[in-house]
Structure 1
């Protein structure tokens, strides 16, 4: 399963605009999930990007990747 190129490029643009790397953007997203009170301007954009690609089971590719990242994050 690969990330659609348009999602990667949009993620990189958002990250660069905020002065972060793409991995920093993902890390920030995970941190924001742990602290839901945090008012991050990135969170709505990332959620919007994650909802862009739907698979037949109703989950997006990014939902599946996010679940994987959360599992990995919890167990690390």
Structure 2
């Protein structure tokens, strides 16, 4: 069975729009909001989660953490 690809986080450098995709090839090469072409991306592992915030002074802030394991 092929190994699952990690999800990918996409961030537009122009307007700060962001999204998480399970398949990077579906993300496209333009921002869905402003049509900008400068997109940053990085993988997100299956047990990883994050919060996203934006402040005019500080810019984009991402906080990554491991997801809690489901209790059996």
- Do they superpose with TM above 0.5? no
TM range (shorter): under 0.3
Structure with higher RCO (Cα < 8 A, 6+ apart)? 2
Q: Which has the larger radius of gyration?
A: 2
TM-score normalised over the length of structure 2:
0.24
The structure with the greater share of residues assigned to helix is 1
The structure with the greater share of residues assigned to strand is 2
